[in-house]
Chain A
């Protein structure tokens, strides 16, 4: 399913959560239609900025998060120039239309038409009373019919306008509700961020966190190394799961490369992480001496046995 414009605008304004951002990036890298839509949405956003149609907060985000590269600022300058060129073109067309209308208005009314009205008047006022009376009645009747028809059309138009207004009111109510929800969401996010900030500024750096991804780390010496400084008491390992299959519980066994088991833990549960699901382990830092390790993760199958899932090789260096 294609992501909607709202999500794309949030992406461009740097408002999406990491998970949503990741989803969209994966999608547009592989899906041309999605990427085309993103480009069109970007143009609309830039045009809205140039036309001053963005709300105050969106304008601020646009300037703060969107206009961060010279290439993007260039796009805005181009949109301004294009707008000016299009306005000039429109002015030229309008001037031509106005000129044509002025030429038409300056031409005299055809004499034939005046003559025909004069003939009609002469005919009505001619000495033929019965015929003239019938004609007057016919004209009055026609006039009433036209008036009646006009009033009906007018009433219908008023009714249509009333319905349109009603739809606009409903639409604005919906928009207002959406804005309120968005505001509430942002307030919640802000409160959570403030809490997180307060927590991080007071917490002592005794626990270190590492993310282990089997596909990412394999064969790359630099990322395999976990550097543990003195004073660290605990180490949290986030083991990103590469399998889609769900297990009731998981078991992790940590061995040195020479095969000595140094630590194990069972009954582990998968929890949501930024990239899908992951197992979170907390080990005492004392367990990890300077050595090379392999952490093996297995899942408890319905038969009561364990399926081997992934290996996470890493080395530990103490600073």
Chain B
């Protein structure tokens, strides 16, 4: 089953009114589905494929307007188990380990290693440059707060910082998390534009 644009949209709308938050929620759910399928035995396809299949089925049911009686989590859980049972039945008898190559046959030298490493270092440098630029775009208040937060976190002094700012540690961490997300959302397009150049 395929995850179409429409079914994907319907699922996101079901997860959160804010599309960006919905995407993050879906990412959490997807990752845990992958972990769930990774734990299962006798599966031939990749756990990622099963996770996408589960999400596709759930998304299609939501788009069809199926009434989710308990909650979305229960619904996903039910679908993943049905999928697993189906796959077990279909795949149990197929030969296993067909693609497994013994370790001694793995290539020892990667001829492109040096080149890849060079590219990787350049990419890291670009990422740091973009992060620096994006951090500079923050308001002075946010920038000051984030600096203090990181420093306190590094030193294990978040409780003291919370006391000084007359707030809770939870509120501090959530505020820092939002600032961090703001910087990160700026880094992505910055990196893309550099890639084009």
A: which residues have CB within 8 A of B? Answer: 11, 14, 18, 21-23, 25-26, 28-30, 35-40, 43-44, 47, 51, 65-66, 68-69, 71-72, 75, 77-78, 80-82, 84-86, 88-90, 197, 200, 205, 209-211, 213, 215-216, 219-220, 223, 227, 229, 240, 242, 274-275
A72 with B82: in contact, given A44-B173, A81-B124, A227-B89 (CB under 8 Å)? no
Q: Are A43 and B25 in contact (CB under 8 A)?
A: no
The 4 closest A-B pairs by CB, nearest first: A14-B35, A26-B73, A25-B73, A215-B69
Q: Are B128 and A25 in contact (CB under 8 A)?
A: no
**Shortest Cβ distance from residue A11 to the other chain B in the assembled complex, whole angstroms:** 7
Cα–Cα, bound, A30→B22 (Å): 11
Interface size band for B: 35 or more
A39 with B24: in contact, given A26-B73, A26-B74 (CB under 8 Å)? yes
Contacts of B30 in A (CB 8 A): 69
Q: Are B27 and A242 in contact (CB under 8 A)?
A: no
Q: Are B85 and A209 in contact (CB under 8 A)?
A: yes
A69 with B127: in contact, given A242-B69, A275-B74 (CB under 8 Å)? no
Cα–Cα, bound, A275→B75 (Å): 10
Cα–Cα, bound, A209→B73 (Å): 22
A26 with B72: in contact, given A81-B124, A211-B81 (CB under 8 Å)? yes
Cα–Cα, bound, A213→B66 (Å): 14
Task: Write out, one digit per residue, whether chain B residues 28-64 have a CB within 8 A of any chain A CB (1) or not (0).
Answer: 1111101110100100000010000000000001000
Contacts of A21 in B (CB 8 A): 32
Contacts of A82 in B (CB 8 A): 131, 135, 180, 183
Contacts of A84 in B (CB 8 A): 128, 131
At the interface, is chain B mostly helix, strand, loop or mixed? Answer: helix
Cα–Cα, bound, A149→B187 (Å): 57
Among A26, A200, A220, point to the contact of B66 (Cβ < 8 A).
Answer: A220
At the interface, is chain A mostly helix, strand, loop or mixed? Answer: helix
Cα–Cα, bound, A223→B170 (Å): 44
A211 with B128: in contact, given A69-B30, A197-B41, A220-B61 (CB under 8 Å)? no
Q: Are A68 and B176 in contact (CB under 8 A)?
A: no
Nearest B residue to A216 via CB reads B78
Nearest A residue to B51 via CB reads A68
Q: Are A40 and B74 in contact (CB under 8 A)?
A: no
**Shortest Cβ distance from residue A51 to the other chain B in the assembled complex, whole angstroms:** 8
**Shortest Cβ distance from residue B56 to the other chain A in the assembled complex, whole angstroms:** 13
Task: Write out, one digit per residue, whether chain B residues 146-186 have a CB within 8 A of any chain A CB (1) or not (0).
Answer: 11001101100000000000000010011011001101100
Cα–Cα, bound, A209→B84 (Å): 12
A11 with B32: in contact, given A39-B24, A77-B127, A211-B85 (CB under 8 Å)? yes
Q: Are B85 and A210 in contact (CB under 8 A)?
A: yes
Among B124, B151, B176, point to the contact of A43 (Cβ < 8 A).
Answer: B176
Contacts of B72 in A (CB 8 A): 25-26, 29
Q: Are A36 and B85 in contact (CB under 8 A)?
A: no
**Shortest Cβ distance from residue B148 to the other chain A in the assembled complex, whole angstroms:** 11
Q: Are A22 and B77 in contact (CB under 8 A)?
A: yes
Q: Are B21 and A40 in contact (CB under 8 A)?
A: no
Nearest B residue to A78 via CB reads B184
The 11 listed contacts between A and B (C-beta, < 8 Å) are A21-B32, A22-B77, A23-B73, A25-B28, A40-B177, A44-B173, A69-B30, A77-B124, A216-B75, A229-B89, A275-B78
Among A22, A200, A223, point to the contact of B74 (Cβ < 8 A).
Answer: A22
Instruction: Tell me the chain B residues, 82-100 only, with Cβ under 8 Å from chain A.
Output: 82, 85, 89, 92
Among B35, B79, B147, point to the contact of A68 (Cβ < 8 A).
Answer: B35
Other than the given A26-B71, A38-B28, A81-B131, 13 more pairs (CB < 8 A) read A25-B32, A26-B74, A28-B25, A29-B16, A35-B21, A68-B31, A68-B35, A72-B31, A80-B124, A85-B135, A227-B89, A240-B78, A275-B70
Q: Are A215 and B71 in contact (CB under 8 A)?
A: no
Q: Are B41 and A200 in contact (CB under 8 A)?
A: yes
Contacts of A88 in B (CB 8 A): 132
A85 with B128: in contact, given A43-B180, A213-B78 (CB under 8 Å)? yes
**Shortest Cβ distance from residue B94 to the other chain A in the assembled complex, whole angstroms:** 14
Among B31, B73, B76, B85, point to the contact of A69 (Cβ < 8 A).
Answer: B31
Cα–Cα, bound, A219→B15 (Å): 23
Q: Are B176 and A40 in contact (CB under 8 A)?
A: yes
Cα–Cα, bound, A210→B41 (Å): 18
Nearest B residue to A38 via CB reads B28
Contacts of B61 in A (CB 8 A): 220
Q: Are B36 and A18 in contact (CB under 8 A)?
A: yes
Cα–Cα, bound, A162→B56 (Å): 60
Cα–Cα, bound, A216→B79 (Å): 8
Q: Is B67 among interface residues, defined by CB-CB distance under 8 A?
A: yes
